[in-house]
Structure 1
Amino acid sequence: MDRVLPKKKWNNKRITTVAGITALVLLISGSIYFTSGKSKLNVDAERITVSEIHKGKFQEFIPVNGIVMPLTTIYLDAAEGGRVEEKYVEDGAMMKKGDPIMRLSNTDLELTLANQETAVFDVLTQMQNTRNNSQENTISKLNQLADVDNGLKEAERKYKMNKKLYADRIIGLQEFQATENEYNYQLRKRRLADRVLKQDSVSVKQQLSQMNESYERMTNALQLMKKKVGDLVVRAPVDGQLTSMDAEIGQNKNKGERLGQIDVLSGFKVRADIDEHYIARIFPGLMGDFTLGDKVYKLRIKKVFTQVTNGRFQVDMEFIGKAASNIRRGQTLQVRLALGDETQALLLARGGFYQQTGGNWVFKMSKDGKTAYKTDIQLGRQNPDYYEILSGLEPGDKVITSSYENFGDVQELVLKK
């Protein structure tokens, strides 16, 4: 007789199905957990740098390279072109005002000077000849005038005598009129001689005046030419040190070409190159400092050169107080140039993290120091040592400031010692 067997509740098929569904649910749940939750990364604590947020004095400044230069520099340019014939001193020599440095030769200038001297000598000779001729002419005219005066006096004597004789009817009318005509002729002749003498005197004076003016102009031109030839000997314009001399014997130098410079050793200044990004924030009066040896020296911007070359512009800085005694021309200094006054701020040490985050977030340490999680922040001003924190962190917070290059997109770091 057949017997009804009870149906099994958990057969192999059902068990397999339930196990598959459970595995699928676990897989989906794990995926949701790991994709929606925080991704983590284990990090060796010894390979990171941790900095603590604190309040302190903050001053925005930028590091710039400065070159020590003399306070005053006089450039030596060739006033006239020529060939370098002789050098009296070498680069680096200490000079007194007027000391010769080098001698140039210029045949054209020397020939022009000789021609100018000849022309001046010719004008001077002409002036002397004209003066001599005028004197001789004046003497001749005076002699003629003396003859005319003598003839006039004789004619006047006869005229007066015959006039009386004619009035007494001793002589006739014809004889009287003859002496009268002679007297009038000699009188007109005297007036004419006097006019000729005056005109001749005026003409000679005008001629001599013109020649004097011409002589003065030519003399001035000669003096200028002598100065040009004299400038072929290059001399120190002031007391100082000769530097950057660029001239060798036999070398040809053009007019206006730089020959060297004289550094006046009365003091020093610092010329610094600054990135054009800061040009709107740089102005005379800004302070800077540098350390030399164990001492800190202060500088102040005196002049700003606004011309930008290759993305940079220059400033001249003067020393506040006494300059360093061991400083030398051409020495390079690392100057900290302050862009603002010193204030209190929340500070975060600079580090490699900024390259990956742009200063928008950091990994902030947990209280127990075992983990670090991503935190949004806002930075303000900066200097080579610190960033100014505007929001997102508080004093006492600890932040990983080393590079985040190997952290990827994780949200949390687990620190392993």
Structure 2
Amino acid sequence: MDIVRTPQKSYKKPALIAGGVTLLAAVTLALTRLDPAMPTVDRATVLIDTVQRGDVVREVRGPGTLVPEQIRWITAQASARVERLHVESGQKVGSGELLLELSNPDLQIQTMQAEQQVRQAEIDLINLRTNLRSAILTQEGTVASTRTQWVSSTQEARAADSLVRLGLVPAFEAANRKASAEEFTTRLRVEQERLALMRAAIDSQIAVQASRVTQLAAIAQNQQARLRSLQVRAPDGGVLQELTLQLGQWVPEGTALAKVVQPGRLKAVLRIPESQAKDVQLGQTASVDTRNGLVTGRVIRKDPSAQGGSVTIDVALEGPLPAGAVPDLSVDGTIVIDKLSNVLYAGRPALSVGSGNAALFKLEADGRTAVRVPVVLGRSSVNTIEIVNGLSQGDRIILSDLGSNANAERIRIK
């Protein structure tokens, strides 16, 4: 007789599954607690420098151009038409040399009219002097005649007064003679005052007309000068530039016709970044690279305002100019600002904009990893910057821009 056997239950498989889940959870937790992988950069792509202690010369640098120290613009004094060109742009000219000829018939007519007005005013002045002198002479004759009548009437009045007392002349006759004497006394005083007024007014009337003559003469001289300016001449000797006029071209008044420069007297006009230009002062020494030699100079002017992120600095060149130094030549200038003694310094980081707090990567002793450390930067130069705090002498730092890795705490260098 067969015996039925009941199979026993196995508990091994569920135990294995539970153990696997526990192990997976433990591994996941361990992985989440691991630090993220360090970014890696190639050593050949970064610039590494060592912090040093010593003296540093602070400099600022900027591009610029050579420009003449003296530029004399020639402008049209009157609207006119170009009739003849005697020289071309780029030629050397002497002082007073004829450059071009212009024409304007209306200006010639205006000049003749102005001269005619001056001559008419001079004639009017002569006539005024004659008429005033004649009027004074006439008034002097009137005063003399009145004085004679006054003397005669006064004597008759005295005689009549004496005869009245003797009874030889009636009283009313003596009264008439006395009244006549008083009348001529008043008339003499009036005529004398009139003569004095005429003499006092003659100078002012002549002065008014004389000032009119002077004014018209000045206008005529200005018209003559404008007419002469149609013969355009070089005000100074030098090289003629920017003469681009054509025959028959109409030139409005005030238009720049050309300019005369002296190529042997040049200065450098540099454009220094506004973040560095604050330390530039007049009189500081400079060096200008013309790509064909270095020329020493000195700062003579600083623009009070910034344009396009830079400040214009003028540098007077003190040394001899190298061959090929011509106006509008592109140059590079370096200005010495200050000298720092016994300071910590290193190469200027790529992203440094000046003094203040910054973060740099310092290489560890193995040279394979770099850690991000806060530092305080001080005064800067073209290629170097002062280290105020955060680094020590001998520390090696990365100066290059690390891009997306700049915010990492540590990086690996291979």
Question: Shorter-chain TM-score: what band?
Answer: 0.5 to 0.7
Task: Find the counterpart in structure 2 of residue 73 from structure 1.
Answer: 71
Task: Find the counterpart in structure 2 of residue 196 from structure 1.
Answer: none
Q: How does 1:53-132 map to 2 (within 5 A)?
A: 53-120=51-118
Query: In the alignment, residue 297 of structure 1 is paired with which amino acid?
Result: V
Q: CA deviation at 1:331?
A: 0.7
Q: Secondary structure at the match of 2:346?
A: strand
1:245 and 1:341, CA in 2 relative to 1: closer, same or farther beyond 3 A? Answer: farther
Provide the C-alpha distance between the structure 1 equivalents of 2:68 and 2:97, rounded to a whole number of angstroms: 20
Aligned 8 A contact 1:81 1:252 in 2:
yes
1:289-335 CA distances to partner (integer Å, 9 max, x unpaired)?
Answer: 12345743222211223244444442321123434454111111111
Provide the C-alpha distance between the structure 1 equivalents of 2:404 and 2:334, rounded to a whole number of angstroms: 33
Aligned 8 A contact 2:60 2:276 in 1:
no
1:180-231 CA distances to partner (integer Å, 9 max, x unpaired)?
Answer: xxxxxxxxxxxxxxxxxxx9xx9xx999999887766655543333222112
Task: Find the counterpart in structure 2 of residue 272 from structure 1.
Answer: 270
Provide the C-alpha distance between the structure 1 equivalents of 2:349 and 2:77, rounded to a whole number of angstroms: 57
Provide the C-alpha distance between the structure 2 equivalents of 1:90 and 1:336, rounded to a whole number of angstroms: 37
Query: In the alignment, residue 105 of structure 1 is paired with which amino acid?
Result: S
Aligned 8 A contact 1:71 1:266 in 2:
no
Q: What is the aligned residue count?
A: 342
Provide the C-alpha distance between the structure 2 equivalents of 1:101 and 1:280, rounded to a whole number of angstroms: 45
Aligned 8 A contact 1:360 1:377 in 2:
yes
Task: Find the counterpart in structure 2 of residue 191 from structure 1.
Answer: none
* TM-score, normalising length: structure 2: 0.67
Q: CA deviation at 1:84?
A: 1.5
Task: Find the counterpart in structure 1 of residue 359 from structure 2.
Answer: 361
Provide the C-alpha distance between the structure 1 equivalents of 2:23 and 2:130, rounded to a whole number of angstroms: 141
Q: Secondary structure at the match of 2:107?
A: helix
1:406 and 1:228, CA in 2 relative to 1: closer, same or farther beyond 3 A? Answer: closer
Identity of aligned residues (%): 19
Q: How does 1:292-307 map to 2 (within 5 A)?
A: 292=290, 295-307=293-305
Provide the C-alpha distance between the structure 1 equivalents of 2:39 and 2:223, rounded to a whole number of angstroms: 87
Q: Secondary structure at the match of 1:40?
A: coil
Q: Secondary structure at the match of 1:102?
A: strand
Aligned 8 A contact 2:292 2:324 in 1:
no
Using the TM superposition, name which of 380-389 and 286-295 deviates more: 286-295
Q: CA deviation at 1:116?
A: 3.4
Task: Find the counterpart in structure 1 of residue 371 from structure 2.
Answer: 373
Task: Find the counterpart in structure 2 of residue 159 from structure 1.
Answer: none
Q: CA deviation at 1:408?
A: 6.9
Aligned 8 A contact 2:268 2:288 in 1:
no
Provide the C-alpha distance between the structure 1 equivalents of 2:409 and 2:208, rounded to a whole number of angstroms: 101
Task: Find the counterpart in structure 2 of residue 386 from structure 1.
Answer: 384
Q: CA deviation at 1:244?
A: 1.9
* TM-score, normalising length: structure 1: 0.67
Aligned 8 A contact 1:284 1:301 in 2:
yes
Using the TM superposition, name which of 313-322 and 270-279 deviates more: 270-279
Query: In the alignment, residue 62 of structure 2 is paired with which amino acid?
Result: V
Aligned 8 A contact 1:353 1:404 in 2:
no
1:22 and 1:253, CA in 2 relative to 1: closer, same or farther beyond 3 A? Answer: same
1:48-76 CA distances to partner (integer Å, 9 max, x unpaired)?
Answer: 43322223442333321221111211111
Provide the C-alpha distance between the structure 1 equivalents of 2:93 and 2:83, rounded to a whole number of angstroms: 20
1:68 and 1:46, CA in 2 relative to 1: closer, same or farther beyond 3 A? Answer: closer
Query: In the alignment, residue 229 of structure 1 is paired with which amino acid?
Result: L
**Structure 2: which 5+ residue stretches go unaligned?**
1-10, 139-194
Task: Find the counterpart in structure 2 of residue 24 from structure 1.
Answer: 25
Say yes or no: does 1:291 pair with 2:292: no
Query: In the alignment, residue 236 of structure 1 is paired with which amino acid?
Result: A
Task: Find the counterpart in structure 2 of residue 413 from structure 1.
Answer: 411
Provide the C-alpha distance between the structure 2 equivalents of 1:12 and 1:249, rounded to a whole number of angstroms: 109
**Structure 1: which 5+ residue stretches go unaligned?**
1-9, 142-198
Q: How does 1:129-278 map to 2 (within 5 A)?
A: 218-265=216-263, 267-278=265-276
Aligned 8 A contact 1:39 1:411 in 2:
no
Provide the C-alpha distance between the structure 2 equivalents of 1:371 and 1:126, rounded to a whole number of angstroms: 102
1:269-299 CA distances to partner (integer Å, 9 max, x unpaired)?
Answer: 1122334445543332233212345743222
1:11 and 1:234, CA in 2 relative to 1: closer, same or farther beyond 3 A? Answer: same
